[in-house]
A and B are shown apart, each in its own frame.
Chain A
Amino acid sequence: MAQSGFDRRRVNGPSESFQPTFDDGLEESSDLYDNWKLGEARRKRHPGDIRPIFLQTGFIKQANGSAYIETERTKIACAVYGPRQSKSSSYHETGRLSVEVKFAPFSSLVRKVPIRDAEDRSIANLVHQALASSVRLDTLPKSVIDIFVTVIECDGIESCVAAATVAASTSLAKAGVEMLGLVVSCAGAVVGEDVWLDPNEEEARLASGMLLCACMPALGVTTSVWQTGRVLPAKALLSLQLCQDRCSDIHQIVALALHED
């Protein structure tokens, strides 16, 4: 369709232009712990506080179940497909979970190249481990359930894994996959003498060690514990206890989100 007065050879932008304005809160957060010393208190949050969680189900229409979780600057979308016929050529008496984690190229401060690297797979393994014992895979012979986790924005790997686990379990419940209970997960960072729950990226950098705990509060069962860094046994047990207490709060949020629609 030819437009009168339309010149293809010129830049046809508007006559006025404006600088893009960014309000990403980066400047604020990057100097939050600038002159922080070991032994000082956590800034802006109490040690046992987690970031507020927004959880919504069923936003990917073509998936059997889906969930979107947002805790401040961690944003994760999760979709569940299946049960599908297994592609592999061997017979499996029980069903299998296949978890795939992908980071958006813009998910972190440094651009993530969109290829499967070792980090994606280790995170997928952690999510798989947290969920595997909760799903009644014995009811699904020869089938496979595909879980796709897309990290849109990542603020702290450990809390990202925890949020991904919560989103994946919510999606599974939404998809009508039989499971023993909902899995929720929480991360704790050992900083000096304190345990800071749900640490963001900067707090994770200050921590000497990390503990990630996934459990089913409805059954009082822990499905997975993952520890990195240097943590004394007493501190590990303390953070495990704190994480489990907080998990029952997160479980409430998941139950609420599932009841909503």
Chain B
Amino acid sequence: MPSDCLIPGQPVPLPRGPTLQLGSGVYTRNGETRASLLGTPQFHGSTLSIHRVKPHPPAPNSVVVGSVTRLSPQQAVVSITVVDGVPLPPGEDFTGVIRVQDIRATEKDKVRMGDCFRGGDVVKGLVISLGDARSYYITTARNDLGVIFATSEAGGTMEPVSWQEMRCPKTGKVEKRKCAKPEGL
């Protein structure tokens, strides 16, 4: 381990100059900046933080990926397995909820849950709030958010044809989904 690795509680050596913004992994107490994680402090622009790639619980504005476990006309329950690109350990998934008004940005009152998600779909979403005790609230109201993987009734992996339709390559049948815009398109 490098010698400039800090342990929790150790003061962070600060360079002279303008005051810094503190990111994650550092805190100020009695005017002194200290580390709160084990690691090496790094600068990202003017933000000082100790970064660790580790699974962490969802927070507002994190991008999450999960699979739909339960559907009702009002909401879809999602089991979150990836938070900000970091997969969670097996069996330690968080529960999220996509309410019907959070599925898309326009014509919210015309949305039918059955035309947007099915059980088992893998959905990419954005956490909008910590929600209630049981679940985080997720939205898919953005072009790049929505279903990213789904299987058809015939069992084939479907491909998106428009932002609200997916086609099964086996049967050619079109099913309705709120699709995420594929990356790099």
The 8 Å CB contact of B38, one of A81, A88, A91, A174, is A174
Q: B10 to chain A: which residues have CB within 8 Å?
A: 218
The 8 Å CB contact of A179, one of B8, B59, B92, B133, is B8
Measured between C-beta atoms, what is the minimum distance from A90 to chain B in Å? 5
CB distance B54 to A64 under 8 Å? yes
Say yes or no: is A125 at the interface (Cβ < 8 Å to chain B).
no
Q: A140 to chain B: which residues have CB within 8 Å?
A: 57
Within 8 A of B (CB), among A167-209: 173-176, 178-182
CB distance A83 to B57 under 8 Å? yes
Within 8 A of A (CB), among B34-68: 34, 36-38, 52, 54-57, 59
Residue of A with least CB distance to B135: A85
Contacts A178-B25, A179-B36; A258 near B7 (Cβ below 8 A):
yes
CB distance A219 to B7 under 8 Å? no
Say yes or no: is A255 at the interface (Cβ < 8 Å to chain B).
yes
A96–B65 CA distance with the chains assembled, in angstroms: 25
A219–B130 CA distance with the chains assembled, in angstroms: 32
Chain B positions near chain A (C-beta within 8 angstroms): 1, 5, 7-10, 24-25, 27, 29, 34, 36-38, 52, 54-57, 59, 89, 92-95, 130, 132-134, 136
A123–B54 CA distance with the chains assembled, in angstroms: 30
Chain A positions near chain B (C-beta within 8 angstroms): 62, 64, 81-86, 88-92, 136, 139-143, 173-176, 178-182, 216, 218-219, 254-255, 258-261
Residue of A62, A91, A216 contacting most chain B CB atoms (<10 Å) = A91
Q: B134 to chain A: which residues have CB within 8 Å?
A: 89
CB distance B9 to A219 under 8 Å? yes
A6–B138 CA distance with the chains assembled, in angstroms: 65
Residue of A with least CB distance to B90: A62
A91–B52 CA distance with the chains assembled, in angstroms: 27
The 8 Å CB contact of A91, one of B56, B92, B94, B133, is B133
A149–B89 CA distance with the chains assembled, in angstroms: 21
Q: A89 to chain B: which residues have CB within 8 Å?
A: 133-134
CB distance B34 to A181 under 8 Å? yes
CB distance B37 to A178 under 8 Å? yes
CB distance B95 to A259 under 8 Å? no
Residue of A with least CB distance to B94: A85
Residue of A with least CB distance to B11: A218
A3–B37 CA distance with the chains assembled, in angstroms: 58
The 8 Å CB contact of A181, one of B8, B55, B56, is B8
Contacts A178-B24, A180-B29; A85 near B36 (Cβ below 8 A):
no
Contacts A85-B95, A143-B57; A218 near B133 (Cβ below 8 A):
no
Q: B29 to chain A: which residues have CB within 8 Å?
A: 180, 219
CB distance B54 to A176 under 8 Å? yes
Measured between C-beta atoms, what is the minimum distance from A250 to chain B in Å? 13
The 8 Å CB contact of B34, one of A86, A174, A180, is A180
Measured between C-beta atoms, what is the minimum distance from B131 to chain A in Å? 8
Q: B7 to chain A: which residues have CB within 8 Å?
A: 173, 182, 218, 254-255, 258-259
CB distance B38 to A142 under 8 Å? no
